[in-house]
Structure 1
Amino acid sequence: MVDNIDLKILALLKENSRMQWKDIGQLIHMTGQSVGNRIRRLEDMGIIEQYTIATNKAKLGMPITAFITIFLESSNHLAFRTFYEKEESITEVHRISGEGCFLLTAHFTSNEALDDLLAELLKHGNYRVNISIGKLKS
């Protein structure tokens, strides 16, 4: 079971996943070894799935963020899966309920690059696109 100490550790790791165990321990009044044991347990339980970094896509030359709802025309989800797994501009894929089948998050260098992806998506079904005006919270 997860307790309040585990939640504090998770909050600190969310802010800085490179934080040293001893530094976390100082903040929550535990030894670094105890923190490490808790972190390993959280990993074993599947609560901590990965350690990663967040990047600013606009500063990396991809100022256009699009949220694309896909309406598949066929039941060939395997072909669509093959497509999105190899497509580098697509950073997230969610299977959704309600209107549509999948929700994609994608980042582009230009409107032309977005248009190229949309042309490829038409091979799998229809879509609806929403363009991000600005990111307010991560």
Structure 2
Amino acid sequence: MKKMQDLDPIDLKILALLKQDSRLSHKQIGALVHRTGQAVGARISHLIEQGVIERYTLAIAYPQKQFIQLFLNEPRFSEIENIINHFEQVDEFYKVMGNACYMVVAHFSPQELNLFIEQISKWCRYSVESVIKKI
């Protein structure tokens, strides 16, 4: 996998433009970085092959967003992973190193969050941080 510090200024600019709007065509990006659309396409393909670009995605503005830390009571990783992966409101799910065992980024309504907590309480302790404003 290529490291970010190994990328040249053109690749970094292409990444910044895609991060702002992944719908931009290669030709549009090329005009902004002074390259042809074909050259931009080749660079993007190379960034994908190198693992720098994982995927193109869409960010949806949900009315609620939570950051949930999970602290397992017992080392039963597969059970909690199966439970968490069944919730469609989970946007991101990471096994982490530090105080918590997992970090969940989700968009539960208050009622859904209550159901989620009831499900996971058998397996772990948790800390929920709810977003009140995006800055």
For normalisation by structure 2, the TM-score amounts to 0.89
Q: Percent identity?
A: 38
> Deviations for 1:44-91, whole angstroms, at most 9, x for unmatched residues?
001011001111112xxxxx3222111111111011111111111211
Q: How many residues align?
A: 130
> Deviations for 1:73-110, whole angstroms, at most 9, x for unmatched residues?
1111011111111111211112223222111112122x
Question: Equivalent residue for 1:126?
Answer: 125
C-alpha distance in 2 between matches for 1:52 and 1:108: 20
Question: Equivalent residue for 2:16?
Answer: 11
C-alpha distance in 2 between matches for 1:121 and 1:2: 42
Q: Which runs of 5+ in 1 are unaligned?
A: 59-63
Give the aligned CA root-mean-square deviation in angstroms: 1.3
Question: Equivalent residue for 2:73?
Answer: 73
After superposition, where does 1:35-46 map in structure 2 within 5 Å? 35-46=40-51
Q: Which runs of 5+ in 2 are unaligned?
A: 1-5
Question: Equivalent residue for 1:82?
Answer: 82
C-alpha distance in 1 between matches for 2:50 and 2:128: 37
Question: Equivalent residue for 1:103?
Answer: 103
For normalisation by structure 1, the TM-score amounts to 0.88
> Deviations for 1:94-134, whole angstroms, at most 9, x for unmatched residues?
2223222111112122x222111100011211112222111
Aligned to 2:65, the other structure's residue is in SS state strand
Runs of 4+ in 1 over 3 A off after TM superposition: none
